Each structure stands twice: as C-alpha cells, then as structure tokens.
Amino acid sequence: MLQGAYLTGFSVKDWADLLHAAAWPIVALIAIFRFHSVVESLLERLIRAEGLGVKVTLAKLDKELPKAEGEARRVRPQLPSVPRPGE
C-alpha cells in the first residue's frame, strides 16, 4: 500500500491531505441532500419574512403591465365557426 502510494508520486501525507480536503465538501453535499427539505423551508421562511417574493413579482408587474395594457386593446379576435353535426 505504502509502496503503491510512493509509485504514484504521492506520499501518505499527500493522500491524507487530499482526503481531508475532499471530505468537507462531500459531508456538506450529503448534509444538503439529507436535510434539503429543512434548508428549503428555512429559505422559504426567510423570503416570506422579507416579502422578497412579493417584491420581485411587483417589480415584474411594474415593468410588464404598461406594455400588456397597450397590447390588450390591439388584439384582433376572429369570429368563431359554427360547429356542424359530426365535427
């Protein structure tokens, strides 16, 4: 094992450092997957408390409503057809 480690040019300490560096992100990912519902609900509560969702939606409406108001009046409807038996 030790011989193998030396063969790749890595010392035992290098392997240990590598594992140590990789361990934290792996632990964090496992934690996120395991507790994602808790994280989600915390984020949701934060957004609600700040009213962020509402503010974002209001900003979008602010931008798009004037254009929609103008476009609505320009709609050209077509006469619907008279349905025939067997259609």
Partner 1 sequence: MAVTVNFEQHLLEEAAASPTVAIMRLTLEIDRELRKLLAVTGRLGQYRGEMPEAIELLEMANGIKLPRELKDTLTQFWSLRNHVVHSQVSEHLALRALDYGLRILRMVKSIPRHSYVVVRADIPVYANSACRPPAREDVRGVMLETFSPEGEFMNKQVFPTTRTYLPGESVSWEWNRQNEKGWGPSWYQELDPDDSGKRTIKSAWGESLEFAGRNLNEI
| Residues forming the site for partner 1 (CB under 8 A) | 48, 51, 53-55, 57-58, 60-61, 64-65, 67-69, 71-73, 75-80, 82-86
Burial class (CB in 10 A: 0-12, 13-18, 19+), 47: middle
Q: Of 9 and 83, which CB lies nearer to partner 1 in the complex structure? A: 83
Tokens of 78: 């077509």
Q: Is 12 within 8 Å of 19 (Cβ atoms)?
A: no
Shortest separation between residue 63's beta carbon and partner 1, angstroms? 9
Q: Of 9 and 87, which CB lies nearer to partner 1 in the complex structure? A: 87
